[in-house]
Amino acid sequence: MSCNYLYRSVSHRLPNFICYTPIAPTILSLKSPFCPSRRRRHLRSFSISAGNSFTWDDVFRVPESPQNDDSALSGFFDKIKLCNRDLEKQCEFMPFVIEDQIIGYVHHRFADFLKPFQNVFIFPQDNTYGSHFECYCTLHPNLSTPNDRTKAVANVVKSLGELIPGIRNELFPVASAFGEQIFFSLERAAAPYFGIKAYGVHMNGYLEKDGQEYLWLGKRSEQKATYPGMLDHLVAGGLPHDISCGENLIKECEEEAGIPRSISHTARPVGAVSYIDIEGYRMKRDVLFCYDLKLPDSFIPHNEDGEVESFQLVPVTKVANIIRNTSFFKANCNLVITDFLFRHGHIRPEVFGYLKLLQSLRSGHCS
Amino acid sequence: MSCNYLYRSVSHRLPNFICYTPIAPTILSLKSPFCPSRRRRHLRSFSISAGNSFTWDDVFRVPESPQNDDSALSGFFDKIKLCNRDLEKQCEFMPFVIEDQIIGYVHHRFADFLKPFQNVFIFPQDNTYGSHFECYCTLHPNLSTPNDRTKAVANVVKSLGELIPGIRNELFPVASAFGEQIFFSLERAAAPYFGIKAYGVHMNGYLEKDGQEYLWLGKRSEQKATYPGMLDHLVAGGLPHDISCGENLIKECEEEAGIPRSISHTARPVGAVSYIDIEGYRMKRDVLFCYDLKLPDSFIPHNEDGEVESFQLVPVTKVANIIRNTSFFKANCNLVITDFLFRHGHIRPEVFGYLKLLQSLRSGHCS
C-alpha cells in the first residue's frame, strides 16, 4: 500500500518520471519474477530514458515499506527484473565460438550485418554449441593471434558505424570465463552486440554510527551519457583488460570519490553479482565484483573526474526503501546494494522469498 | 607442495586418518571440480568414518598454503566435492510429487521397498516431472491432510526398520521450497531417503583483534553419532518445523556455546549455501542459512548440551589453511566457512577460480 502511495505522491512532483501509475502490488509475482508486466515495461522505459531529474530531497522523502508481509521483497525482485530483461529471447542468439569455447552470443539478425565481412566472421553449419540455430558464429581461421583478431574485429565495428553507438575507445578482454585465456580484445560499447561477458568493480562505501549503518551514495552528473542524474554507489567502474580488480578499484576510488590509497586498500572483496540483459541485438552478460569499504566517520567523498554531481550519506534502512519503492538507482547498482543488504543482515530469512532473491542476484553466467 | 608435505607429516602422526598418501595436486582439476579421483574417494571414506582422532595441536600445526598460484583454491574445491558427491547419479532418482509440485526424489531401488505400502505410496506411469523413469512417486490421494500424510509416512519409515538408521524423533517440514506450503512432516533421518530438502542454521562466531580476524571453532564430542571429534562452527543445527531461523539460532547459541540472548540476538543473517549429496539411496538436498556473530573479546564459549568437547579461537588465515589442507572439519562446515572467507575478503578476485568457487557454494537447489 505504501508502494502505491509513493507512486502517487512522487508522480505529483515528477510527471513523466518514475512509475507514477498506481499499480496493485499483486502483479509483482514472486513465483514468476521474470514475467512481463505493465509496471516492468514502465521501469524499463524509465531506466534508459534521460532528461528527467530528481533531487536529494526526493530521495530522503521515500517512505518506509512494510518489511514482514509476503510482498516485502517484491520491490527488490522488480529491480532484478530490470537487469534481466527479455531472458526468453536468448533463443534468438547463436553462440560465438573461438577454439571450441563459447565466448559470446550474436543475435541472428545482427549476424546478417557481419556476414559480408567474410574474412573476419564465418558461420559454420553446425549446432553442436547448443543453439537452436543450425550454425554458430566464429572468426576466420586466418585470424589466429589475439592481435590479428582484435584489429580485424575493430575494423568491422568501425565499419558498422551507428549500428553500434557510443564507442568509448576502451578495450575489454574476450574470454570464455574470468581469468581464462584471452582470445582478443573488443571495444567496450561493442561487447553486448557480441554477447561478450563484461566485468566491473562496484563498491559500497559505508560507516557505522550509533549502532546504525549508513551508505555513501553518489548522484551521477546530469552530463553523463548513461543514467544521468541517477543514484550510484560511491565507486564503480568497468574492468579493462590490463588491470586487476583490486588495482582498478583503487584507481576508481581516487577518481570518483577522492578516496586515497591509504583508505581504499582496506576495501574488502565480498563476492559478485551477475545478470543477463537482452535489448534488441544486445545481450549484456555482466559480472560485477562487489567490494565493501568501511570509511572513517570523518571522511567526506569528493568527485575528481566530473562524473558525480554530489554525494550524500544515507541510512541503510532508507537505501533499502529507495531500492524497493523507486527507480532512482542506476539499474545494476540495485543488485550490488541488495547483496550488501543480505550480507549485512538487513534482509532476514524469515521474509518470504529470501532464498529466491538471494539466488537471483546471480541470474547471469557468473564465471 | 605444502599440501603433500602435510599429508605426509600428518600421516606419520595419525595412521589411518587423514589423506596421508602423497598425491599430486594436479589431479584436483579446477576445470572439472566434480570428477572422481583417488583423493576424493579417500576424503569420502574419511568423512564418514568414526573412531579416528586428532588434537588441537594437530590443528594448529597445519602449515600455510601458497595463496596466489593457480592451484590456490584447489583445497576449497575439494571440500565442495566432499559435499556434492555422485551428482551424476541424480538420474537414478525419480521425482517425489505432491499436488503437482516436486518435493523430493526417491531412488528407484528404494522405491521397490515403498511399493508394498499401496495405501501410502503410489507410482503413476507418467514422466511429466522430468525424470527419465516412466513414473514418479506420490502419496495416495486418500491422504489429503498434512496430519494424515505425516502419520502414514511415519508408519512406513518405522516398518522399514534398519533400512533407515539413526531415527531421531525430530520432524522436518516437507515443502517444495522454503516458506512454501508444508505438505507434511517427516522424521529427520528419513529426509534424505525421500530427497526432501532440509534446512539448517550455521553460525560463524568471530572477533577482531589487532587488525586480525579470529573464528571460534568447536571440536565435536567423540561421543557424537555423526562426525565425532571433528571441527565444527561455534554453533549449528537443523531447522525443525516449528521454529523460525532466528529463534532456532538463539536456542542453539545457548545450548551449544552458552551464548546468552543478549549477545546472540546481534547475530547477522548473511546468506545461504546449498549442496546435493548422493550416497546409495540417499539424496541430501541441504540449504544452510549462514549467520555471523561478532563476539566481545571477553566472551568464552562453553558447551551446555555435551555435544562439543572444547572450543578454540583460531586466526581466520589459519582456518582457511585447515580447510584447504585437511579434512578436519565436518564436511558442510567447510562451505559455510568458505562463504565467510569470501564475504570477509580473505579470498580475492585475483586468484584463479574465484567466481567458480563462489558459485559452487550454492551447487544444490537453494530454494
The CATH class that applies to domain A1-89+198-367 reads alpha beta
Are the C-beta atoms of B188 and B197 separated by less than 8 Å?
no
Interface test with B, best of A343, A350, A360, A362 (most B CBs within 10 A): A343
Nearest chain A residue to B200, by CA: A349
Are the C-beta atoms of B127 and B136 separated by less than 8 Å?
yes
Are the C-beta atoms of A230 and A212 separated by less than 8 Å?
no
Per-residue pLDDT of chain B (367 residues; tens, 9 = 90+): 333 333 323 333 332 223 222 222 222 233 333 333 333 333 333 333 334 689 999 999 998 877 667 789 999 999 999 999 999 999 999 999 999 999 999 999 999 999 999 999 999 988 778 777 789 999 999 999 999 999 999 999 999 999 999 888 888 899 999 999 999 999 999 999 999 999 999 999 999 999 899 999 999 999 988 899 999 999 999 998 789 999 999 999 999 999 999 999 999 999 999 999 999 999 999 999 999 999 999 999 999 888 899 999 999 999 999 999 999 999 999 999 999 999 999 999 999 999 999 999 998 888 9
Helix B74-83 and helix B38-47, axial crossing angle in degrees, nearest 10: 60
B200 in contact with A, Cβ within 8 Å: no
B178 in contact with A, Cβ within 8 Å: yes
Distance, CA of A59 to CA of A231 (rounded, Å):
9
What average pLDDT does range A159-172 have in this prediction? 91
Min distance B297 CA to chain A CA atoms (Å)? 18
Q: Which chain B residues touch A361 with a CB distance below 8 Å?
A: none
Grid cell locating A39: 509496471
pLDDT band at residue A132, thresholds of 50, 70 and 90?
A: confident
ipTM of the complex in this document = 0.84
Helix B74-83 and helix B331-343, axial crossing angle in degrees, nearest 10: 130
* Pair type for strands B231-232 and B235-238: unpaired
Nearest chain A residue to B353, by CA: A179
Min distance A270 CA to chain B CA atoms (Å)? 4
Are the C-beta atoms of A193 and A110 separated by less than 8 Å?
yes
pLDDT over threshold 70, residue A49 = no
- Nearest by CB to residue A359, choosing from B246, B349, B362, is B362
B270/A355 touch (CB, cutoff 8 Å), yes or no: no
Same fold flag, A1-89+198-367 and A90-194: no
Tell which A residues from 204 to 233 touch B, by Cβ distance under 8 Å: none
Q: Residue B50: what pLDDT?
A: 35
- Nearest by CB to residue B179, choosing from A245, A271, A352, is A352
- Nearest by CB to residue A268, choosing from B345, B356, B358, is B345
Q: Residue A8: what pLDDT?
A: 29
Q: Residue B357: what pLDDT?
A: 97
A354 in contact with B, Cβ within 8 Å: yes
Q: Which chain A residues touch B342 with a CB distance below 8 Å?
A: 269-271
Domain boundaries, chain A: 1-89+198-367, 90-194
Nearest chain A residue to B70, by CA: A179
Q: Alpha carbon of B21 to those of B6, B31, B56, B320: distances in Å?
A: 10, 23, 22, 21
> DSSP character for A52?
-
The full DSSP string for B94-125 is EEEEETTEEEEEEEHHHHHHHTT-TTTEE--B
Q: What is the interface size between A and B, counted as CB pairs within 8 Å?
A: 89
B355/A287 touch (CB, cutoff 8 Å), yes or no: yes
Q: Residue B155: what pLDDT?
A: 97
Q: Which chain A residues touch B347 with a CB distance below 8 Å?
A: 269
Nearest chain A residue to B265, by CA: A345
A365 in contact with B, Cβ within 8 Å: no
Min distance A246 CA to chain B CA atoms (Å)? 8
Q: Residue A32: what pLDDT?
A: 33
How many helices and strands, by DSSP H and E, does chain B display? 11, 13
Grid cell locating A327: 527507480
A355/B268 touch (CB, cutoff 8 Å), yes or no: no
Q: What is the dihedral of CA A235, B268, A346, A25, to 10 degrees?
A: 130
Are the C-beta atoms of A337 and A319 separated by less than 8 Å?
yes
A182 in contact with B, Cβ within 8 Å: no
| C-alpha atoms less than 13 angstroms from C-alpha of B163 in its C-beta half-sphere | 16
A356/B367 touch (CB, cutoff 8 Å), yes or no: yes
Q: Residue A67: what pLDDT?
A: 67
pLDDT exceeding 70 applies to what percent of chain A?
Answer: 85
B367/A350 touch (CB, cutoff 8 Å), yes or no: no
What average pLDDT does range A264-274 have in this prediction? 97
Interface test with B, best of A355, A356, A360, A362 (most B CBs within 10 A): A355
- Residues A222-262: tens digit of each pLDDT: 998 889 999 999 999 999 878 999 999 999 999 999 999 99
Q: What is the dihedral of CA A280, A286, A292, A297, to 10 degrees?
A: -30
Distance, CA of A343 to CA of A272 (rounded, Å):
12
Tell which A residues from 137 to 156 touch B, by Cβ distance under 8 Å: none
Q: Alpha carbon of B113 to those of A6, B8, B331: distances in Å?
A: 58, 45, 29
- Residues A182-215: tens digit of each pLDDT: 999 999 999 999 999 999 999 999 999 998 999 9
* H/E stretch holding B323: helix B316-325
* Pair type for strands B137-139 and B93-98: parallel
The CATH class that applies to domain A90-194 reads alpha beta
Q: Which chain B residues touch A345 with a CB distance below 8 Å?
A: 268-270, 292
CATH number among 3.30.750.160, 2.40.10.10, 3.30.920.30, 3.40.50.2300, domain B92-194: 3.30.750.160
* Diameter of chain A measured on Cα atoms: 65
Residue B275 backbone phi and psi in degrees, to 5? -160, 160
A200 in contact with B, Cβ within 8 Å: no
Distance, CA of A46 to CA of B351 (rounded, Å):
38
| Protein fold of B1-91+197-367 | Nucleoside Triphosphate Pyrophosphohydrolase (3.90.79)
Percent of residues in chain B assigned helix, strand, coil, to nearest 5: 35, 25, 40
B287 in contact with A, Cβ within 8 Å: yes
Q: Which chain A residues touch B177 with a CB distance below 8 Å?
A: 355-356
Interface test with A, best of B201, B343, B352 (most A CBs within 10 A): B343
Min distance A153 CA to chain B CA atoms (Å)? 28
Q: Edge-to-edge strand order for the sheet containing B121-122? A: B101-107, B93-98, B137-139, B121-122
A343/B343 touch (CB, cutoff 8 Å), yes or no: yes
